[in-house]
Every structure is written in C-alpha cells, then in structure tokens.
Amino acid sequence: MKKLSLIILLFLSVTASPAVAQQFYRFRADVSVKDKLADGKYRLTMGKVYYDKIYKKIVYTLNFPEKENLIIQDTTLYTIDKAGLLKSRSQTVLMPEFTVFHLALTGKLSDYGLTAKKDEPSIYKIESVEKTADGVLTTWTPTDAKLRELFGDIKMLKKNRRLDAMIFYDKDGRMVSRQFFKKYVNVKGVEFPTEVTMISYGADGEKNLQQTTYKNIVIDQQDEDEIYRYRIPITKSAAMRK
C-alpha cells in the first residue's frame, strides 16, 4: 500500500499550448513524499522519478527509507530490490499515459486530460462553470448513465489558467479526495507545480494526508537512457520465490 500511495497522487497542471507541448517527451525530478496516516504516524519517501512518453514507463529510483526501484508499465507495478532482483509484482489502477507526467508533456494537464479529442468518445463533460473569488470553478460529470454508475463528479478550480485544486466524488456523491497544486515553476515552457497535497477519505471516515514535493525538474534529458527504458529483471528475489 505504501508503494501504491506514493504513485497515485500525480495530477498536476501545465499551461503551455498543446501545439508547443507536443515536442516534450521526457520528465525527471527529485521527489519526496510525506504521508500523515489516519493513525497519526508519519512516513517519508525520497528519490527520483523518470518518465519517457514514448516508452510509457514510470521509474522511481528510491533511496529512502530503503534503496529500491519502482516501475509502472501498463497497469502493473514492479518493485526491484537493491540487488536488482524482482521483489514484487502487482496490478495497479494507474496507467502511465493518464499520469501527471504524460499529461504535462502532452499539454493536457490544465483540464486533467478530461477534454476528449475531436471525434473521440469522452468519459466526462462540463456540467457547469462558475467564476468565484478564488478562481474559475468547473464541475465535470460523467457523460452517460452507465458511467455515472461507476464514477462521480469532479470539481476543478483554476487560478490564472493554472490548476489549483480538485475534488473527486464517488458515484454516490461522497467526497473521496481533495488535491492542491502549488508553487509552480516553468521549465522549458512547461509549467509544473512543485508542491502537491492530496487528502483522501476512506469509506470508514479515515483521512490520510500526502504531500509530494518536486525539485530539480529536467525536461527532455538526453542521457540516463538505461533508466528511462528500465528493463524489468526476470530473476526473482528470494522473498518472491517463496
């Protein structure tokens, strides 16, 4: 669960135009994740994150609290231990092309990628737009009754054309998470929030808080190809062979 929570927090925004943003293909940054759990305990995870939109593979090289690598490809999460052996493999709801990294590089993060391309089916549509003292508040709703049986509304707040906050609801209208995007930087024309806070609410009322900080962002790095293309090892660790 620790590994999954590290990754499912990746929704940010960029204001570069799609025509310009399409030229970008790689993202790298130092990353630290601070968790405050429902039981009051704290947890810190630190390392680097790499993403190449061509390979659609997210790579976390972690150095704290332990040295290991996490790779997300398709809908599978792989954990590689410090010896380079496959430690675990599990399914995840996360798909690389629907993460902050891919959407930022393709210029689709300002609306969280919810606007469908012309002639393509869309999952969400705009229900309402309201100008408030805090910014422009847009409510997105599932496009049809079948989808509404699975998904709830999404509220999105923009300030100065930047995504500032989002609220996610389940199909019954219960708030399941809030996310805040602060301290933007501009790297090669890509605007990226370096501080992302997510508050998630469990069905039992438990609340977890997670703050992710990005530093030293690099766009279109030319080296470290072996990390961006990270090959999943075949050899399993002793723990996984049990």
Q: Pick from 220, 216, 202, 197: which is nearest to 12 by CA?
A: 197
Domains of the chain: total: 1
Q: Confidence band (pLDDT; 50, 70, 90) for 242?
A: low
Report the pLDDT averaged over residues 125-129.
Answer: 96
What sign has the CA pseudo-torsion 21, 194, 81, 90?
negative
Q: How does pLDDT run across 187-231, given as a tens digit for each residue?
A: 998 888 899 899 999 888 889 999 999 999 999 999 999 999 999
Q: Which domain holds residue 138?
A: 2-241
User: Coil, strand, or helix at residue 134?
Assistant: coil
Give the up-direction half-sphere exposure of residue 17: CA atoms within 13 A in the CB hemisphere: 2
User: Coil, strand, or helix at residue 180?
Assistant: strand
CATH at 56: 2.50.20.10
Q: Confidence band (pLDDT; 50, 70, 90) for 12?
A: very low
Q: How far apart are CA 154 and CA 124, in angstroms?
A: 9
**How far, rounded to the nearest angstrom, does the alpha carbon of residue 146 sit from its chain's CA centroid?**
26
Q: What are the structure tokens assigned to 149, written together?
A: 């049986």
